[in-house]
A and B are shown apart, each in its own frame.
Chain A
Amino acid sequence: MTTSTPVIKKRFKLFQSEESRLAWALISPTAIIVFSIIIFPAVFSIWVSFHDVGLHNLNNVFNAPFVGFENYQKVFSDFAFKYQGIKIWGAAVTSIVYSFIATAFTILVGLIAALLLNRPFKGRGLTRAIFLFPYVAPVVSTAFVWRWILDPRPSGVLNDILMRLNFIDLPIAYLAERGWALVFVILFEGWRYFPFAMLMILARLQAVDTTLYEAAEVDGANTMQKFWNVTIPELRYVLGAVFLLRLMWTFNKFDDIFLLTGGGFGTRVLPILTYEFSFRLFDFGRGAATAMILLIILAVFMTFYIKVVMQNVED
């Protein structure tokens, strides 16, 4: 070994000078695509939000007139955005309420599912695979099958079951009634995205040192006490991380609500409003302003969360 070391070192040195060049050559295609199609557009959308961009000048977008904060003012005074009392929330408040409740619910369901799968039983592997179905199945199919299950017509299943059980007398239009629509959109979110939380929590659960449980047992702890005093503290970090990721994605999510309610009946969140301004009214400036407001809310929350909450969790 000692005799060959100088040779290897020489080879390695040769590689090091080459290494950097090779690394850039390998990564540049990815970097160019990602930057040209994500980083540049992201910066460009700040620019768009301060200009009057519509279908009429889309081909000449770089010469669009500068309008200052006019787009932002239009968004803030829009009825779809503004909070107008407890009955009509507006997109900003709806977005925040929806994302927080949906994320918390998703994680709760994911935690229960992970605890189920953490116990050994026959057919556990298959069960875990089935639990992932909602997450891997296409959003379009799952959203539409739920719309069909929740259908208010006589052939809608949920209404039929609830009426047979005498819980309700008349069919309810779950996705077309203020209040219910938001509740069912959140339930759908929990149904579809709990597997992600489940997998992360399960991976952490399986890494918990079993001697901790044995020690707790020696101290005479029952199942509930073991759960609160051993499992939950061990899971704190992963729960915090999953909460952040899921909240971010739920806040940005467009497809689910668009497909379930089209953004009607009190479910118009900021991504939907952005889409409507941009591709129904073709006012791209106003759409970009809405998206920027969304991003600012998200950034403020994330900074606060990472600085305060995650730091506490780590201590």
Chain B
Amino acid sequence: MKKDQKSFIGHLAAWLNWPRFIFSATLIFFLTSILFPFYWMASSSFKTRAEIAGREPVYVPGEFQLEAYKELFSPEHESYQNFGKNIINTLLVATPTAIIAVILSTLGAYAIARLKFRGKNVLLNGILLVYIFPGVLLIIPLFAMLARVGDTLGFNVQDNLGVLVFTYLAQTLPVALYMLTNYFRTIPDEIEQAGLIDGCSRLGIIWRITLPLAIPALVSVSIYTFMIAWNEFLYALVFLNDHAMFTMPIKINTIFNDPSPRPHVVMAASTIMTVPIIMLFLAMERFLTEGLTAGGVKG
């Protein structure tokens, strides 16, 4: 046993030189500073209030305590948060945003990538302008504008998830359009021309040839737009007032700002919000990473 250990240390000493040492140390530093907050989020959510407010931090929770999750989901809890409703609201906003954004941007991106038409560049530059405008600049006129439109057409701007989807479309469409245009350009034109020769119509070509080839891009764009809507904070903060209509980010903000601080509940809600996103990302990592560099997703 001792001999083995020695040879291991000997091995390590022989392997280790300055560049390798610096490399490993930096890598370990990166990995800990990235993963520790996520560990701390998940582990804090399983602590009791006593552990959270103790004289020193509890690095490893003694056992899984579900106190925080009970406050979020169990109606019997004294300060029941009805977090399930907030999860549903977030899904009700994020899913339509993703679906509509993908459909509309697929059509638009195809036109930009493949068809010749006048005014294309002006249009494309206009759409990309969104990268410059701060969300906080747009929200004032949007708020005033939609309040006026809502007054005329008889709908409420505040606490209206449909209005929220509409504003999220403006944030996600340019990104989606840009990513899909780049992808369509990588599909060789010759395949479509073969279809043209065989007598397919343009729409037939899009449906039978281009879309099946673009499935990886369509998947990654729909996940991106879903994630943007799932994470969005500012517009939801301004447009939602009623607790029953809150999406998760606004709800977590409300719990955090509660006069009696309950970090374990905040961490539990944050964990619930983060886990699906990380899972989705890990499952689709390959597509998504390519999309990130291609689209330069705004963040």
Known: A26-B111, A139-B231. Contact between A155 and B253, CB under 8 A? no
Given A139-B233, A288-B141, are A129 and B293 neighbors across the interface (CB < 8 Å)? no
Which of B53-61, B69-77, B214-222 forms part of the interface with chain A? Answer: B53-61
Chain B residues with CB below 8 A from A193, complex form:
299
A288 touches B140 (CB 8 A): yes
Task: Kindly list chain B residues whose C-beta atoms are within 8 Å of the C-beta of A299.
Answer: 132
**Chain B CB within 8 A of A141 CB:** yes
Is B19's CB within 8 Å of the partner chain A? yes
Interface size class on chain B is 35 or more
Q: Judging by beta carbons under 8 Å apart, are A133 and B133 in contact?
A: no
What is the chain B residue whose CB lies nearest that of A46? B141
A130 and B134 contact, Cβ closer than 8 Å, known pairs A148-B263, A199-B292, A288-B141: no
CB-nearest residue of chain B to A129: B285
Chain A, range 152-192, C-beta contacts under 8 Å to B: 153-157, 160, 191
Within 8 A of B (CB), among A6-30: 8, 11-12, 15-16, 18-20, 22-24, 26-27, 29-30
One of A58-66, A79-87, A213-221 contacting the partner: A58-66
**How close is A284's CB to chain B, nearest CB, in angstroms?**
5
Q: Chain A residues near B112 (CB, 8 Å)?
A: 27
Contact residues in A for B277 (Cβ distance below 8 Å): 136-138
Least Cβ distance of B110 to chain A in Å?
6
CB within 8 Å of A: which of B1-42? 19, 23, 26-27, 30-31, 33-38, 40-41
**Min CB gap B40→A, angstroms:** 6
How large, as a class, is the contact surface on chain A? Answer: 35 or more
Q: Specify which of A30, A42, A254 is in contact with B105 (CB 8 Å cutoff).
A: A30
Closest to A158 in B: B57
Distance A116 CA – B33 CA, assembled complex (angstroms): 15
- A254 & B136 in contact (Cβ 8 Å cutoff): yes
Q: Is the CB of B115 within 8 A of A248?
A: no
Cβ < 8 Å to A, chain B residues 228-249: 230-231, 233-234, 238, 248-249
Tell whether B287 is near chain A: CB-to-CB under 8 Å: no
A76 and B282 alpha carbons, distance in the complex (Å):
47
Within 8 A of B (CB), among A116-141: 116, 119, 127-141
Complex contact B37–A22 (CB within 8 A): no
A254 touches which one: B31, B108, B234 (CB < 8 A)? B234
- Find out whether the CB atom of B37 lies under 8 angstroms from the CB atom of A156: no
Please name all residues of chain B whose beta carbon is closer than 8 Å to the beta carbon of A136 when the two chains form the complex.
Answer: 227, 277-278, 281, 288
Residue B99, interface by CB 8 Å: no
Q: Does A308 contact B (CB under 8 A)?
A: no
B residues within 8 A CB of A60? Answer: 148
Main secondary structure of the interface of A (DSSP, over half): helix
Residues of B within 8 A of A200 (CB): 293, 296
Would A31 and B123 be within 8 Å (CB), given that A22-B111, A141-B270 are in contact? yes
Once bound together, how far apart are the Cα atoms of A129 and B289, in whole Å?
A: 9
Can you name the residue of chain B whose Cβ is closest to the Cβ of A262?
A: B257
Whether B107 lies near A135 (C-beta < 8 A) is no
Task: Report if B52 contacts A (CB, 8 A).
Answer: yes
Interface string of B162-201 (1 = CB under 8 A from A): 0000110110011001000000000000000000110000
Known A151-B263, A291-B136: A44·B117 in contact at CB below 8 Å: no
B111 touches A255 (CB 8 A): no
Residue in A33, A131, A199 whose CB lies within 8 Å of B34: A131
Q: List the count of A-B residue pairs having beta carbons below 8 Å apart.
A: 288
The one of B23, B41, B138 in contact with A141, judged by C-beta atoms closer than 8 angstroms, is B41
In the assembled complex, the Cα of A252 lies from the Cα of B134 at a distance in Å of 5
| Chain B contacts for A135, CB-based, 8 A | 299
Report the Cα distance A59→B153, complex, angstroms. 12
Closest to A11 in B: B196
The answer, yes or no, to whether A94 is at the interface (CB within 8 Å) is: no
Cβ contacts under 8 Å, B34 to chain A: 130-131, 133-134, 191
Q: Is A38 an interface residue (CB 8 A)?
A: yes
Give Cα A279–Cα B281 distance, bound, in whole angstroms: 34
When A116-B23, A138-B231, A295-B134 are in contact, do A45 and B140 touch as well, CB less than 8 Å? yes
Beta-carbon contacts of A257-292 to B below 8 Å, as 1s and 0s? 011000000000001001100110000100110011
Task: Say yes or no: B135 contacts A41, CB within 8 Å.
Answer: no
Provide the bound-state CA to CA distance between A279 and B136, in Å. 11
Interface residues of B in 245-295 (CB under 8 A from A): 248-249, 252-253, 256, 263, 266-267, 270-271, 273-274, 277-278, 281-282, 285, 288-289, 292-293
What are 7 A-B contacts with C-beta separation under 8 Å?
A: A116-B27, A141-B252, A145-B270, A155-B52, A252-B134, A271-B134, A278-B140
A interface residues (Cβ-Cβ under 8 A, vs B): 4, 8, 11-12, 15-16, 18-20, 22-24, 26-27, 29-31, 33-35, 37-42, 44-45, 48, 53, 58-62, 112-113, 116, 119, 127-142, 144-149, 151, 153-157, 160, 191, 193, 196, 199-200, 203, 223, 245, 248-249, 251-252, 254-255, 258-259, 271, 274-275, 278-279, 284, 287-288, 291-292, 294-295, 298-299, 302
Chain B residues with CB under 8 Å of chain A are: 19, 23, 26-27, 30-31, 33-38, 40-41, 44, 52-58, 104-105, 107-108, 110-112, 115-118, 120, 123, 126-127, 129-145, 147-148, 151, 166-167, 169-170, 173-174, 177, 196-197, 202, 227, 230-231, 233-234, 238, 248-249, 252-253, 256, 263, 266-267, 270-271, 273-274, 277-278, 281-282, 285, 288-289, 292-293, 296-299
Q: What 8 A-B pairs are tightest by C-beta distance, nearest first?
A: A252-B134, A141-B270, A291-B137, A41-B141, A37-B170, A23-B117, A30-B108, A23-B115
